[in-house]
């Protein structure tokens, strides 16, 4: 008797176990989100968002993988055909991934496609359809060291500064004799993105109506490329600016933080960096100076994309909409870390979170341009020729010719 009762009990328990696991196996879905680690604060905020999502949708598990050397890891995952359902996509990678057919078209699945900054949405739009909702972005602005300006008796930069004002202030700083030994008015690297920024201010464009990449190719664009190089390299050749390696820093933002440069042109990633590393620094921001063709700044962004070969597209879009919807953007904004929320409505919240230095970056969103190069554009090759112009070894014309030539 006893034995049979135990057997019955055991059988019932087994059946219950099988039932419950069966139920879980049917309803619970795991989707993978692959990205790269940002600042510790951002990583924490992401885990909090994911936890909130999993609470709202208890049947969906999100496996967050933040990997080092992210682009390469993702590329090899794509090639194998077995890749994550949701992943970050930088603006320079987006075109490549679309060409390779690994990104799902989001136009039918993005809940609130309106409300993103137009320049930002344009980056991730192909043929009028928004593929990936932007995650966050950064704009370039002019950062200045208030103490160095005060000591030299030079007026602070303003939002309506032009190139001439910038140069005049740099000359005044240099002439004042108050800059400490080894400190320069401007930290500016001969990199391609700074060239692009001044190129836009000089009236250059990146794409024509047919979608061809026209940077520095001919006519006004060619002239703008040269004007921009002449202006920036002129600052370097006249000793008004120096590169970060000249200033023994890893990047211009570090030189600025160390106080060896009175001004620099960085994006809002510098906000969190300066607060963490140089909390004592007394600094301010204004919008980028206007060039001969008016205002211009660059925007750098990332988006959440959903994979094309995907067993769980519905759940993936639920997650992406959760992270990039109006509430998602508010969460990015209140976090107040480096990158800005992708929706215009959340700009004010972000400024409140990071303080008044955030205003110049948000203001740039109105006219910023995303410097996206074609997928096989030899950016690195071009980028390392600009240094020659800054040293006076190369003519701006030669580098512009090279940049505008066919691949």
Q: Which residues bind other proteins (CB under 8 A)?
A: 71-72, 75, 78-81, 83, 96-97, 99-102, 182, 243, 245-248, 309, 375-381, 383-385, 387-388, 393-394, 402, 405-407
Q: Helices 40-56 and 326-335 meet at what angle, rounded to 10?
A: 150
Least distance between other proteins and beta carbon 215 (Å): 14
Least distance between other proteins and beta carbon 239 (Å): 13
59 versus 245: smaller Cβ distance to other proteins:
245
Least distance between other proteins and beta carbon 18 (Å): 34
Least distance between other proteins and beta carbon 407 (Å): 5
40 versus 101: smaller Cβ distance to other proteins:
101
If one counts every other C-beta atom within 10 angstroms of the C-beta of residue 298, the result is: 23
- Cβ-Cβ contacts under 8 Å for 165 (sequence gap 6 or more): 157, 158, 289
> Among all chains, which residue has been given the structure tokens 């939002």?
159
Interatomic CA distance for residues 367 and 141, integer angstroms: 12
Interatomic CA distance for residues 313 and 319, integer angstroms: 10
Asked if residue 106 lies in contact with residue 317, where contact means CB atoms within 8 angstroms, the answer is yes
Least distance between other proteins and beta carbon 395 (Å): 8
Supply the DSSP string of 114-177, one letter for each residue.
Answer: TTB-HHHHHHTEETTEE-S-EEEEEEEEEEEEHHHHHHHTPPPP-TT-BHHHHHHHHHHHHHHS
28 versus 245: smaller Cβ distance to other proteins:
245
118 versus 211: smaller Cβ distance to other proteins:
211
25 versus 407: smaller Cβ distance to other proteins:
407
101 versus 211: smaller Cβ distance to other proteins:
101
H or E element at residue 302 = strand 299-306
Question: CA end-to-end span of the chain, whole Å?
Answer: 86
Least distance between other proteins and beta carbon 352 (Å): 39
30 versus 405: smaller Cβ distance to other proteins:
405
CA dist list (Å): 271 to 6, 135, 191, 192: 67, 18, 21, 22
Least distance between other proteins and beta carbon 16 (Å): 40
Interatomic CA distance for residues 94 and 155, integer angstroms: 42
């Amino acid at each position: 008797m006893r034995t049979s009762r135990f057997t019955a009990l055991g059988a019932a328990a087994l059946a219950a176990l099988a039932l419950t696991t069966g139920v879980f196996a049917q309803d619970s879905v795991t989707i993978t989100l692959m990205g790269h680690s940002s600042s510790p604060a951002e990583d924490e905020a992401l885990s909090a968002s994911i936890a909130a999502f999993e609470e709202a949708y208890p049947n969906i598990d999100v496996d967050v993988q933040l990997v080092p050397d992210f682009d390469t890891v993702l590329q090899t995952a794509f090639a194998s055909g077995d890749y994550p359902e949701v992943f970050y996509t930088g603006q320079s990678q987006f075109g490549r991934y679309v060409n390779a057919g690994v990104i799902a078209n989001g136009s039918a699945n993005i809940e609130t496609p309106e409300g993103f900054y137009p320049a930002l949405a344009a980056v991730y739009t192909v043929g009028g359809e928004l593929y990936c909702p932007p995650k966050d972005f950064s704009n370039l602005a002019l950062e200045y060291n208030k103490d160095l300006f005060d000591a030299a008796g030079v007026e602070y930069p303003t939002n309506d500064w032009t190139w001439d004002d910038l140069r005049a202030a740099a000359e005044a700083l240099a002439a004042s004799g108050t800059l400490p030994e080894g400190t320069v008015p401007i930290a500016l690297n001969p990199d391609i993105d700074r060239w692009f920024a001044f190129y836009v201010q000089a009236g250059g464009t990146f794409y024509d109506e047919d979608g061809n990449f026209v940077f520095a190719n001919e006519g006004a664009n060619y002239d703008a490329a040269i004007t921009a190089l002449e202006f920036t390299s002129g600052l370097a050749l006249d000793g008004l600016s120096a590169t970060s390696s000249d200033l023994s820093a890893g990047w211009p933002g570090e030189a600025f933080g160390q106080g060896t440069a009175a001004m620099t042109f960085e994006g809002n990633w510098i906000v969190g960096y300066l607060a963490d590393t140089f909390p004592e620094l007394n600094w301010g921001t204004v919008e980028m100076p206007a060039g001969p063709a008016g205002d211009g700044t660059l925007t750098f962004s990332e988006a959440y994309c959903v994979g094309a070969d995907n067993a769980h597209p519905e759940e993936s879009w639920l997650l992406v909409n959760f992270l990039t919807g109006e509430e998602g953007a508010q969460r990015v904004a209140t976090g107040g870390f480096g990158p800005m929320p992708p929706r215009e409505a959340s700009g004010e919240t972000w400024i409140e979170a990071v303080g008044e230095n955030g205003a110049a970056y948000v203001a740039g969103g109105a006219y910023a341009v995303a410097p996206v190069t074609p997928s096989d554009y030899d950016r690195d090759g071009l980028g390392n020729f600009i240094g020659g112009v800054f040293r006076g070894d190369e003519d701006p014309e030669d580098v512009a010719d090279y940049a505008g030539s066919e691949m």
